[in-house]
Each structure stands twice: as structure tokens, then as C-alpha cells.
Amino acid sequence: MLQVSNLCVHYDRLAVVRDLSFSVDDGEVVTLIGANGAGKTTTLRALSGLKRRTSGSITFQGQAIGFPRAHTMARLGMAHIPEGRRVFPEMSVLENLEMGAYRQRSSKLVHETVEEVFVWFPRLKERRDQTAGTMSGGEQQMLAIGRAMMSRPNLLLMDEPSLGLAPTVCAEIARIIIALKKSGRTIVLVEQNARMALNIADRAYVIERGEVSMEGPAAELAADPRVKRAYLGVA
Amino acid sequence: MAMTSSLVIQTIVNAVVLGSLYSLMAVGLSLCFGVMKMANFAHGELVMAGAYAVYVFYALYGVPFPAAVLVAMVLIGLIGFAVNWSIFVPTEGNLLAGFMATAGLSFVLQVLAGQLWGFGQPEAVPTPYMGAADVFGAAVGWQRLIVVPVTAIALGLLWFVLARTRAGKSLRACAQDREAAALQGINPRRAAAWAMAMAGASAGLAGALMATIFPVTPYMGHNAVLVAFVVVVLGGMSSVQGAVFAAFILAAAHTISSTVWDSVIGMMVGVGLMALILVLRPQGLLGRAAS
Ligand SMILES: Nc1ncnc2c1ncn2[C@@H]1O[C@H](COP(=O)(O)OP(=O)(O)OP(=O)(O)O)[C@@H](O)[C@H]1O
Ligand SMILES: [Mg+2]
């Protein structure tokens, strides 16, 4: 599905992502974990075209990816759920979902997909006419996920879906991601909440200062003493 | 100064006519500020160009007035599109560069209009609709009155496009979060091109309607751009409804103070009102507070 090799990304002259390589197979959930400022968000932004990479290669669905802008990557089937949810604050829930299906011109198909998303998120159905900016953080995260699903993407990039949410809401979001995984979706999950991410994912990469420092099956990394100490808060 | 009832009605009608023109001048500026976060200093010259389009097609070539107005909208819409392509795409993301480049363009367009049609006497555009209507006992010239329904139709159309159509919604999405919009497959540069074309068409319409009421000169954009900026700032920068609302408030303040005192004081009252509202509500009348 996705191969990233020797990815380098700079802000001005500062290297934020250095020689980062990872891959994601069809139907797999891969997590990138790491501390604040490790370069996780920057990596996802380079994948979805929001930030131009300096060097390195990206292969998506067997196709080498040049330097397309974000709207082109979205059209290729990559849906990026950005850090901080970024719903359209002054649009209704329904309009937000419609924007997710912007490329789909058949309003009948858009309508069908909206109904599917409402099955995943009954809460969004209840609040379909509410202005997105007035919803709670958890609801906005559900909307952001639902909006991304509207394009029927082949790959979902999720940047810290649990950020700033209360523990019960976090658990709800985690259940949704697990359900998405069971339905066969391919996901790259970026998280600071390493415990949650390692529970959900098949494989994991630990990112430190823009480089991969460890990689392996999620269960193995969760048992690794170094990971336990640094990311799971276990002495 | 005592106001007779006919003078009161006259003042109200004048305020509504002026508010309509102010709305048309300002909505495009506000739309572009929202979608592109760019300020077009040459917006006033788009209004001026609309007035000259009516002068050329209607007064010189004898094209029927409504057709000349439509031609003005299309032509100035294309100019808006060209301004986006030649200035706002290269200066993308740099508000000051775009502002300075369009400031330069505004002088170029003024000189160009002066070279083509002269700097001296204002151009005379004959009145397309003779006579006056009786509005509750006040006589109001048809060519002024016609501004109100035309503006209502244009703003209604703009509202419909933004609120109901796929393209219009993509413009609003870009205005609310450009990156998030791009992630949905919306091309922000295409949205910008549409926004500038619509800004040009609305500014062109404002100028076209003004051509028969006010003198047509190369410098008429000065006042238009000042008014447009005051209105957009008052309305909350990127809120189109806010701009319309603010346009009528500014027009009322201007008309009442011009009737009671004179038009210079009218403009001072308008700008003073802007300063006062910005002190009380820095985000403008309908703008959202920065979070
Ligand atoms: N727009 C920017 N301009 C300059 N530097 C930036 C910019 N965005 C991020 N950085 C820097 O790049 C580094 C990596 O940031 P990034 O947001 O990718 O980290 P992250 O792993 O997502 O962190 P977090 O867990 O806090 O979200 C940080 O040092 C950050 O300061
Ligand atoms: Mg981040």
C-alpha cells in the first residue's frame, strides 16, 4: 500500500525528518509513536502533500509519488485526518461530510455514503444540522474521521485522534479505530498516547528526532523495556 | 435643521441606494480576504473599470443599458481572474506582497483609464431610465431606485452560490480552513480563481450602476476602495453577510450626516464609526473572535 524510503523534510534549513523509512501493507494498522516534536505530524504532512519533502521516495498503491499538492493526493485515495481535527467550524455536520466527498459528483452516492457514516457514528446523525465549531472535542474528532471516510479512501492517516480528549472519549475513539481495522481499512496512526496506539496497531515505529529508532510488531514493542520506560510510563 | 417627512423618506431611500452600492463594492473584497487571505488594493479600480465599461458600451456604442451592465460584469470578472493569476498566485501566502503589488496595479489602471479616456472632464453617461418614482411622497430618480432590486438579485445569487452549490461550498471550506479543504480534494488555487472572478463581477456591477449616478473618472476607485475596506473591516474581514450588514450601517451614517451637515463630515462619521466599532468589537460586527 505505502512505502516510504529515506524521507527527509526541512523547515527552512532545519532537518525535522531525517532518512525515515517505513512501510504499510494492505489492511494493516501501523502506528508511529514518539515524543513531542519528534516529527510525526511533519511526516504525515509530507505524505499528504501539505508539506513538500526535501528528498526520499514515496510509493503509494504501487505508484511512485512525485511532488503533488494536497488536493491531488486526496484524489489518489489518501485521506489525512489532521492534528487538531480541523473540521470546517462554520459549516454544519452534514456540510462537513459533503465536503469530504467533494470529488464525488453523484449526489445519490454522496447521500448513500453519508448514511453509511451515520451507521458508524449515530451521534453525527443526531447532530447533522449542528454547526461543527460548537461541538465537543470528541464529536469533532468523530466528524473528522467521518469526513475522511466520505471519500472512501484506500489509506487513512490519523494524527493524534485522542489529543485533548477525556479518557472515556479516548476509549470511544479507540473502539472506533479498532472497528475500522476489523472492517479491513489500512491506517497509519500517529499517537502520543503510545499505550492506546500499541494496543490497536499491528506494527509500530518509534520515532526520535525525525528518525526511526525502533520498529517491530506492536505487541513486541509494547513489551520492550526501553519502550516501556520511555513511552508507557513504566519504571 | 428641521426635517420634513419627504426629506426623511428621501434620506432613507438614499441610504438604501448607497448601502446597496457599498455592499456590491465590499462583498468581493471580503470574499477574497476570506478565501485567499489576500487584500486587493486595486479593488476600487475594478469598480472604476465597471463604470468605464458601461460608458464605452452604453454611452459610446449604444448597447442597451442592461446588456452593457452584464458585459461590464463579465469583463471585470475576467480582469479579477487575471489579477489572481498574475499577482495572487505568485505572492501566495504573503499578504503584504499581494497588497503592494495590487497597489501598484491600481495606479497602472488609473493611468491607463486616463490615457484612454482623459483625466479632465468626467465622462457623461446619459440616464437610461428617465423620470422619477414616487416613494411615499418623495421623488426618487429611476436610475437610482433600480440599484436596489439589482443589488438584491445579485446578493441573492451570491448567497445561493455560496450556501447551496458544490463550488460555493468549496469556497467557504477554503475560507474556513484552507489546508483542511485541500485534504478533501479541493484545489485552493481554483477556489481563489473563482473568488477573484466573483469579486471582479460584483465590483464591475457596482461600477456599472454608479456610472449613471456619479461622475465617471479615472480616480473614482479611490473612494470605492476606501469604502470597501471600511465596510469589510467593520463587517468582520471575511464575513460576507457581515460586509452587507456593515455596508448599510455605514451608508446610513454617511447619508444622515451628509444630509444634516455635508459629505466631508459624512465620510468622517463613517470612518469614526469604524474606529468606534473596532474598539468595542475588534473582530468586527459579525466576525468571529480569533481563537
Ligand atoms: N511550520 C513549522 N515551522 C518551523 N518548524 C516547525 C513547523 N512545524 C513543526 N516544526 C518543528 O518540527 C519539529 C517536528 O514537529 P512535528 O509537529 O512534526 O512533531 P510531532 O512529532 O507531531 O509532535 P507532537 O507530538 O507535539 O504533535 C518540531 O521541532 C517543530 O518545532
Ligand atoms: Mg504532531
Tell me which chain B residue has its CA closest to the CA of residue A133.
B176
Residue B5's pLDDT band (cuts 50, 70, 90): confident
What integer is the mean pLDDT of B262-280?
81
Question: Which of A219, A180, A214, A215 lies closest to A202, judged by CA?
Answer: A219
Residue B1's pLDDT band (cuts 50, 70, 90): very low
* A71 within domain boundaries: yes
What integer is the mean pLDDT of B172-184?
95
Read off the DSSP letter of residue B281.
-
- In this structure, which residue's CA is closest to atom 1 in ligand 1? A11
Check: CB of residue A157 under 8 Å from CB of residue A79: yes
* A58 within domain boundaries: yes
Q: In this complex, do A86 and B185 lie within 8 Å of one another by their Cβ atoms?
A: no
Asked whether residue B289 carries a pLDDT value surpassing 70, the answer given is: no
* A16 within domain boundaries: yes
Neighbours of A46 (CB within 10 A): 23
All domains in chain B, ordered by first residue = 5-280 (1.10.3470)
Please give the mean pLDDT across all residues of chain A.
Answer: 92
B-chain CB neighbours of A103 within 8 Å are 185
Instruction: Please give the pLDDT value at position B285.
Output: 73
Region of poorest pLDDT, from A49-53, A54-58, B41-45, B284-288: B284-288
Asked whether residue B263 carries a pLDDT value surpassing 80, the answer given is: no
Distance CA A37, CA A14 (A): 13
Task: Kindly give the distance from the C-alpha atom of residue A103 to the centroid of ligand 2, in angstroms, as a whole number.
Answer: 27
Tell me which chain B residue has its CA closest to the CA of residue A146.
B184
- The model's pTM is 0.89
* A86 within domain boundaries: no
B-chain CB neighbours of A71 within 8 Å are 182-188
Asked whether residue B104 carries a pLDDT value surpassing 90, the answer given is: yes
Find where cell 449604444 sits.
B62
Distance CA B197, CA A120 (A): 40
* A25 within domain boundaries: yes
Angle among Cα A159, A163, A166 to the nearest 5 degrees reads: 145
Structural domain that includes position A224:
1-77+156-161+186-235
Q: If you compute the radius of gyration of chain B from its CA atoms, what whole number of angstroms results?
A: 19
Instruction: Please give the pLDDT value at position B288.
Output: 64
Number of domains in chain A: 1
* A109 within domain boundaries: no
Check: CB of residue B137 under 8 Å from CB of residue B177: no
Q: Among A89, A102, A147, whose Cβ lies nearest the Cβ of B186?
A: A102
One-letter amino acid of A148:
A
pLDDT tens digit sequence for A12-66: 889 999 999 999 999 999 999 998 889 999 999 999 999 999 999 999 999 999 9
Find all residues with CB under 8 Å of B128, minimum gap 6, and list them: B58, B65, B143, B212
What integer is the mean pLDDT of A200-222?
92
* A28 within domain boundaries: yes
Q: Which residues between 78 and 107 in chain A have a beta carbon less than 8 angstroms from any beta carbon of chain B?
A: 79-80, 82, 86-91, 95, 98-100, 102-103, 105
The CATH number given to whatever domain includes residue A28 is: 3.40.50.300
Q: What is the percentage of chain B residues whose pLDDT exceeds 90?
A: 62
One-letter amino acid of B251:
A
Greater pLDDT, B179 or B257 = B179
Check: CB of residue B36 under 8 Å from CB of residue B164: no
Q: If you compute the radius of gyration of chain A from its CA atoms, what whole number of angstroms results?
A: 17
Q: What is the percentage of chain B residues whose pLDDT exceeds 70?
A: 97
How close B51 comes to chain A (CA, Å)?
A: 35
| DSSP line for A126-138 | HTTTSBGGGS-HH
Please give the mean pLDDT across all residues of chain B.
Answer: 90
B-chain CB neighbours of A100 within 8 Å are 184
Residue B2's pLDDT band (cuts 50, 70, 90): very low
Q: Among A80, A90, A91, whose Cβ lies nearest the Cβ of B183?
A: A80
* A235 within domain boundaries: yes
pLDDT tens digit sequence for B203-221: 999 999 999 999 999 999 9
Check: CB of residue B242 under 8 Å from CB of residue B260: no
Is the predicted ipTM greater than 0.90, yes or no? yes
What integer is the mean pLDDT of A107-126?
93
